[in-house]
Amino acid sequence: MTVDEPGVPGRGAASAGSAPVPGATGAGAGTGAGDGDRGAPDAADPADAAAGPPGDPAPGDPGDGAAAEAVPADGGPGDPAGAPPAGGADASAAGAPSAAGAASAAGAGPAPQGDAEPSADAGSAASSGIGTGTGIGTGTGSSAGDGPAGPFAEGAGDPDDEPDPSALRIEELILGSERQYTPFQAARAAGVSMELASRFWRAMGFADVGQARALTEADVLALRRLSGLVEAGLLSETMAVQVARSTGQTTARLADWQIDSFLMGLTEPPEPGMTRNEVTFPLVQLLLPELEEFLVYVWRRQLAAATGRVVQAQDDEEMVNRRQAIGFADLVGFTRLTRRLEDEELGELVEAFETTSADLVAAHGGRLIKALGDEILYVAEDAGTAAEIGLRLIETMANDATMPELRVGIAFGTMTTRMGDVFGNTVNLASRLTSIAPKDTVLVDGALRAELTASGAAPESEKESEDLSGYRFALQPLYQRPVRGLGVVEPWLLRRRGTGG
């Protein structure tokens, strides 16, 4: 076990006045367990240079001369990013609390260099006082708990795992630059607090890798842009986090789909002896700019459509709580299918269902909100469009021998739209109607039936109408029945005119 030497800068006892590095969490949140105050700045680091001169040292901390003896932030020449300080491994293995860790738990002063901005995680984690650190800073944990986040390749947070050079080459091609910052350094270079940077990264869905040197100039620029929108008053901090979360969730699914369904098939080695990486790199070189341009094009198209819907709203209340038709379509007996089909067959069935449904919804003027494997959720501005989509879905799936039966439920009313999703009793009612619908049928609620009759798409009464030829839809009342959470409802069976109505 390494013995702390009193009076030596950077060793446990001497660094008792320093605070935990931002983002430190879990067992690795203690400060100063091992040789070298790893919170010292790296004079050659562009992020440190951009941050300006360090602040005054806190009482009890080493001065400028002592700081020069500390191990640089990158772990010293030849050390992997985020490697533990020399002698620190023994102390970590023993689990011995460090003097600095105890000082942090007791509310020690600020970090010695004056440029560390403590995050919420660092404050809560410091109470453990366990100096098991492997990242930069005064002994921070490398990946335990909820530390700062970052979009890195697998193993980036583990100093013992050297990334595959070919994988790094592809990563640099996609990201546009090489890894050079730790999360703390990136936040400082962007002029953003570690706490806010961590919130943005987590919202975008990036993995927690402690303080590994694995961020790029693009990550710094993204932080600057997002925080700049907040500083300019264009977005609140809460809205900026929501934008980061919605973008991260949407693009994560898109990236997974592209890799699973597109790149995996194209990167099979064409010749024996060729590695997948040898095929992937030139393919990514060709595809990346084209797919990037296409992504921006589709996003702008969707943004224009969404903006048009907002502009047409009568007031702010209508923008958020809107009267629309909402429809659910659900594959019957899907659970039984999962037990009978192989995984690949099940995946093909789900993909075919989602693709066919999305095409039908878009072609007839609706909007697909989400697909959930065996179920889709769509909205339409008017009852007639929603009814047409529901019937088309039933008819199309019935003509496909590979598809199980389908059932659809549609309701009309006010619903809340938020972050691309919809909520409210109308949504719940449509879901309940779907669950009670017989196979290959469409059930609607009384409000949608009223909209259809008011627009002339369906008659007020089948029996009292003398001429039914001018109507598109037929409606048949069914027995009232209690629906969980919504009381008693009267469902209506929707058919196309001329098919038994």
Spatial CB neighbours of 99, under 8 Å, sequence gap ≥ 6: 4, 12, 13, 15, 16, 32
What is the pLDDT at residue 383? 94
Nearest to 186 by CA among 147, 220, 149, 135: 220
Q: Whose structure tokens read 């320093």?
A: 18
Question: Which residue spans within 109-234 are E strands per DSSP?
Answer: 149-150, 207-208
Spatial CB neighbours of 282, under 8 Å, sequence gap ≥ 6: none
What is the pLDDT at residue 319? 57
Q: Whose structure tokens read 């919809």?
A: 422
Residue 500's CB: how many other CB atoms inside 10 A? 9
Mean pLDDT of 445-456: 93
pLDDT higher than threshold 80 for residue 230: yes
Contact 462, 431 (CB under 8 A): no
3-state SS, residue 409: strand
User: Which residues, listed in sequence order, are joined to residue 308 by a DSSP beta bridge?
Assistant: none
How far apart (Å, rounded) are the C-alpha atoms in residues 438 and 408? 9
Contact 41, 55 (CB under 8 A): no
Mean pLDDT of 7-23: 36
What is the pLDDT at residue 364? 93
Residue 321 has, within 13 A of its CA and on its CB side, a CA count of 5
pLDDT higher than threshold 50 for residue 21: no
Spatial CB neighbours of 108, under 8 Å, sequence gap ≥ 6: 16, 17, 18, 19, 31, 100
H or E element: which one contains 242?
Answer: helix 237-258
For the whole prediction, is pTM greater than 0.85? no
How far apart (Å, rounded) are the C-alpha atoms in residues 382 and 324? 6
H or E element: which one contains 483?
Answer: strand 481-483
The secondary structure of 315-367, three-state, reads CHHHHHEEEEEEEEEEECCHHHHHHHCCHHHHHHHHHHHHHHHHHHHHHCCCE
pLDDT digits (tens, 9 = 90+) for 73-119: 444 333 333 333 333 334 333 343 343 333 333 333 333 333 444 34
What is the pLDDT at residue 453? 92
pLDDT digits (tens, 9 = 90+) for 164-221: 788 888 888 888 888 989 999 999 999 999 999 999 999 998 888 788 888 999 999 9
3-state SS, residue 166: helix
First and final CA of the chain: distance in angstroms? 85
Per-residue confidence at 321, pLDDT binned at 50, 70, 90? low
Contact 152, 209 (CB under 8 A): yes
3-state SS, residue 255: helix
Distance of CA 116 to the CA centre of its chain: 27
3-state SS, residue 417: strand
State the sign of the Cα–Cα–Cα–Cα dihedral 48, 54, 58, 60: positive
248-252, 263-267, 357-361: which range is least confident on average?
Answer: 263-267
pLDDT higher than threshold 50 for residue 134: no
Residue 93 has, within 13 A of its CA and on its CB side, a CA count of 6
pLDDT higher than threshold 80 for residue 486: yes
The CA–CA distances, whole Å, from 34 to 89, 125, 137, 386, 450 equal 8, 18, 12, 66, 75
Q: Which long-range contacts (CB under 8 A, 24 or more apart) does 359-367 make?
A: 360/389, 360/392, 360/393, 360/396, 361/389, 364/388, 364/389, 364/392, 366/327
What is the pLDDT at residue 259? 79
What percentage of the chain has pLDDT greater than the value 70? 61
Residue 198 has, within 13 A of its CA and on its CB side, a CA count of 22
What is the pLDDT at residue 328? 95
pLDDT higher than threshold 60 for residue 36: no
